[in-house]
């Protein structure tokens, strides 16, 4: 039986999406060591980008899926580094679980503090999210700004912040690869990453939508 909330809204849309997933499954080749649930995330990332390299570039902390599902089903907040992620996430899918996305990258106080401290807006945005107590138990979604991810790692190591899950997929050439490598060194905080320079908000949205679909399936089975 298909999901109701996390599927396309029309039968025509559902058929196109299902056919696309079938093509991805058929053409992806070997799936490495991905679990079935992890593959649901990877194939949606491939579906969103038409890039089969993510079959291999995507990596997961062992507790990533279970922690993400628990967070979603408990209505945890999502803190994104950029507005694009919040815009891309389906409002009906989020509201079904009571999940609210947040971003602070364009807030006046964030811009002002970034200028005053000669740092980036992304760093200040994560600090604001911490001030608002949104990070502990929340899902942190980073698709654009490596400095946001590096600040999250600092907050975890130095201030004891414990997000439920970090989706760390910043794209780019300066510190993107290094920030993801650093995140993958964490053992006590669940994460998912894309190795190397590739990443982006589209991938983060796809990964979270996959988690939402898995959460609905689990919810229906309980």
Instruction: Check 18, 47, 61, 103 and give the catalytic one.
Output: 47
Q: What is the separation of C-alpha 125 from the centre of its chain, rounded to a whole number of angstroms?
A: 17
Domains, the chain: 58-221 (3.40.50.10230)
- Stated as kind and residue range, the H or E segment containing 167 is strand 165-168
Using DSSP, state whether 117 is helix, strand or coil.
Answer: helix
Residues 31-89 have pLDDT tens digits of 889 999 999 999 999 999 999 999 999 999 999 999 999 999 999 999 999 999 999 99
Our answer to whether residue 96 is catalytic in this structure is: no
Given a contact cutoff of 8 angstroms between Cβ atoms, the answer to whether 38 and 65 are in contact is: yes
**pLDDT for the residue 5:** 81
pLDDT above 90: residue 222: no
Given a contact cutoff of 8 angstroms between Cβ atoms, the answer to whether 85 and 103 are in contact is: yes
> Span 84-110, mean pLDDT?
97
Whole-number average pLDDT of the chain:
95
2 HSE (CA, 13 A, CB side): 13
Q: CA-to-CA distance for 36 and 196, rounded, in angstroms? A: 24
Q: CA-to-CA distance for 194 and 213, rounded, in angstroms? A: 20
Given a contact cutoff of 8 angstroms between Cβ atoms, the answer to whether 99 and 72 are in contact is: yes
Task: Give the bridge partners for 151, in sequence order.
Answer: none
């Amino acid at each position: 039986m298909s999901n109701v909330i996390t599927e396309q809204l029309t039968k025509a849309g559902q058929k196109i999406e299902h056919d696309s997933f079938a093509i991805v499954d058929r053409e992806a080749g070997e799936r490495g060591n991905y679990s079935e649930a992890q593959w649901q995330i990877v194939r949606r990332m491939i579906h969103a980008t038409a890039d089969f390299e993510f079959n291999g570039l995507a990596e997961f902390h062992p507790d990533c899926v279970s922690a993400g599902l628990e967070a979603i089903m408990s209505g945890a907040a999502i803190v994104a580094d950029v507005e694009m992620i919040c815009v891309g996430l389906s409002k009906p899918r989020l509201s079904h679980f009571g999940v609210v996305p947040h971003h602070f990258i364009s807030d006046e106080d964030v811009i002002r503090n970034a200028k005053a401290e000669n740092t980036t807006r992304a760093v200040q945005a994560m600090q604001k999210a911490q001030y608002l107590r949104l990070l502990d138990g929340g899902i942190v979604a980073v698709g654009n700004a490596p400095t946001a991810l590096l600040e999250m790692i600092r907050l975890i190591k130095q201030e004891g912040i414990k997000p439920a899950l970090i989706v760390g997929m910043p794209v780019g050439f300066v510190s993107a690869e290094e920030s993801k490598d650093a995140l993958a060194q964490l053992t006590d905080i669940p994460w998912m990453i894309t190795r190397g320079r590739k990443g982006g908000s589209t991938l983060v949205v796809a990964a979270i939508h996959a988690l939402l679909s898995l959460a609905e399936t689990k919810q229906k089975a309980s």
